[in-house]
Chains A and B, each alone.
Chain A
Amino acid sequence: MIELSAVSKTYRSLVRRRTVRALEDLTLSIARGEVFGIAGPNGAGKSTLISLLVGFLHPTSGSVRVGGLVPRAWVERHGVSYLTELVALPPRWTVEQALRRLATLAGLGDGARPRIERAVEMLGLEEHRAKQVRQLSKGNLQRLGIAQALLDDSDLVILDEPTHGLDPVYTQRFRDIVAELRRPERTILIASHNLDELERLTDRVAILGRGRLQRIVGGAADETHAGSAVYRLVVAGNPVMGSAFPGVPVEGRRGEYRLEGELATLNAAVAGLISSGVVITAFYPEESRLEVEFRRAMEAKE
């Protein structure tokens, strides 16, 4: 669905003659049906990459193709369900009007009304319909941004920092929405600083750093943990751990422990604890795989 080949993007300031390399030699392929994440610190090039995919920017070198076409041609034929990082709509539009106008531009015709109603209901915007955009709080503006993106029934969904400013209720609602959006013919791209969110929602995550692709990490579908890692073990009561973990450094006390070792070794030890009557209430990696990979990518970059 999306093919980027040796893509670089450099911003040039005409006045000060400064140049900023936002993306450098990026090669990436995203399949139809995939939910793909983009992670990276501020200034990593995430928003530039998205602007290239929607055709709002042209690459300085390399090629970008969406469905085999240059992005603008694809967008002008099919449209994109797109949420910008900073939701920008004319301030005097009301919520209702914004959705009706953008549905008109999406060419929804008679199908606009039910889609607007559904988007309003999903994002809890009923009581804000008559409010002007300028009267909305940050969170409500973000919900309007998601609602307008959901109007289109496009095969390409691009969401830039979708949960920025959302409260926990709508953060969870957003996760449900992404699950509903998943379809074999639809590609979903989510750019976020929130690694936990990306790990929950995506199949793969590209980690960008200083404009370069640092690595691609498997998301929820790839849970293999190779090598030694740090885990947290929480048990009921305060049992004597004794030699339950031979050769494994165990830190902590009063039922909560930090262990470092191979997952297979630790699993066997935990099984031994269970058979000896210890009640395990939690056993989980201290850092998710994505967090580990992100940290390693940033350390390698420095």
Chain B
Amino acid sequence: MITRIPLGYSHWELRDAVRGPGLILLAVAVLVGFILTRMPSSQAFTTEDVVRAIADQSLFPLVLVVSAGLVSRDLGEGYYRAYFSRPVSPPLFYLQRWLVGGVLLMLYIPMLAAAASIRTGDLQVPLWIAGRAALLYLLVGGTVLFFSTLVRRDWVLGAGFYILESILHAIQSQGGGLSGIARAVYAVLPPYHAAAIDGSPSQGDIWGAAAYGACIVLAALAVLHWRALGSGGRA
């Protein structure tokens, strides 16, 4: 039997994701709800205001939490030997795991909206924020997935790329000119700013960022297809 697409395994992946990073997402949402109930009633805000403010501050680190070590942990610990002695394709296995992480992150926005609704009484999920969250996962999560196929500290590199691009984008958008090398680096770095909650990217920026993110994920899958998973006889 050929099970190159391990769909049957997706519920195990979901279970692992919920019990790992899912608990952190839930904890953040619960904390937000708790803080809102303690705030003075004179302060007026909408559900969207709350989701926007919290998502702006928390999405980036949470994407790192969800996507860190997706591949590198298995390669480093040797778990891949048990998985891929089965009729399973490594790229599709990890694509599924990455997508499950994305689904979990998408649930974070309704969770925040639910927490805010305790105070506002309005359970409305701002879809544009969910869209930005998806784009951020595609870009940052895709970058971390790519590095995860190559090195152990994937999230450190993912965070470094994000911070570097943020700095260069801030200089650029404030009218400061970028020098030759900095301009070249800025041009090739993923356009993370297009997914910023507080930004106002054009449709073209958003589609360009989505295409870039899709290319990073495809590059990660290509590496998984071609690279040898082992690094030694026993490792």
Contacts and interface: CB of A to CB of B under 8 A. Distances in A.
A105 B81 contact: no
Interface size class of A (residues with CB under 8 A): 35 or more
Given A76-B4, A77-B2, A152-B86, A22 B233 contact: yes
Contacts of B81: 54, 56, 82, 84, 88
Residue among B1, B9, B78, B233 with the most chain A CB within 10 A? B233
A108 to B, nearest CB: 8
Nearest to A158: B85
Nearest to A149: B85
A107 B233 contact: no
Interface size class of B (residues with CB under 8 A): 20 to 34
Residue among A49, A51, A54 with the most chain B CB within 10 A? A51
A106 B86 contact: yes
A90 B1 CA distance: 26
A190 interface: no
B228 interface: yes
A102 B232 contact: no
A78 B87 contact: yes
A109 to B, nearest CB: 8
What is the interface of chain B mostly: helix, strand, loop, or mixed? loop
Contact of A88 (B3, B82, B86): B82
A84 B78 contact: yes
22 contacts: A11-B232, A22-B233, A46-B233, A47-B233, A57-B233, A77-B87, A78-B87, A84-B78, A84-B82, A88-B78, A88-B79, A88-B81, A88-B82, A101-B12, A104-B12, A105-B3, A105-B6, A105-B9, A105-B88, A106-B3, A109-B1, A152-B86
A57 B87 contact: no
A57 B228 contact: yes
Interface string A137-169: 000000000001000100000100000000000
A102 B233 contact: no
A75 interface: yes
Residue among A57, A76, A77, A109 with the most chain B CB within 10 A? A76
Contacts of B78: 84, 86, 88
Contacts of A119: none
B82 A148 contact: yes
Contacts of A102: 82-83, 86
B77 to A, nearest CB: 6
Given A84-B81, A107-B1, 19 more contacts: A48-B233, A54-B81, A54-B85, A56-B80, A56-B228, A56-B229, A57-B228, A76-B2, A77-B87, A79-B85, A86-B78, A88-B79, A88-B82, A89-B79, A104-B6, A104-B8, A105-B9, A105-B83, A148-B82
Contacts of B85: 54, 75, 79-82, 152, 158
Contacts of A82: 81, 85
Interface of A: 11, 22, 45-51, 54-58, 75-82, 84-86, 88-90, 101-102, 104-107, 109, 148, 152, 158
A56 B84 CA distance: 9
A47 B231 CA distance: 12
B155 to A, nearest CB: 19
Nearest to B93: A105
A89 B233 contact: no
Contacts of A51: 230, 232-233
Given A56-B81, A105-B9, A47 B87 contact: no
B228 A58 contact: yes
B89 interface: yes
B234 interface: yes
A116 to B, nearest CB: 14
Interchain residue pairs A-B with the least CB separation, the first 10: A47-B233, A107-B3, A88-B78, A56-B230, A82-B85, A48-B233, A105-B86, A79-B87, A107-B1, A106-B86
Nearest to B9: A104
Nearest to B92: A76
A198 to B, nearest CB: 19
Contacts of A85: 234
Contacts of B6: 104-105
A107 B234 contact: no
Residue among A79, A80, A109 with the most chain B CB within 10 A? A79
Interface string B79-120: 111111111110000000000000000000000000000000
Contacts of A79: 85-87
Nearest to B230: A56
Given A102-B82, A105-B3, A105-B6, A76 B233 contact: no
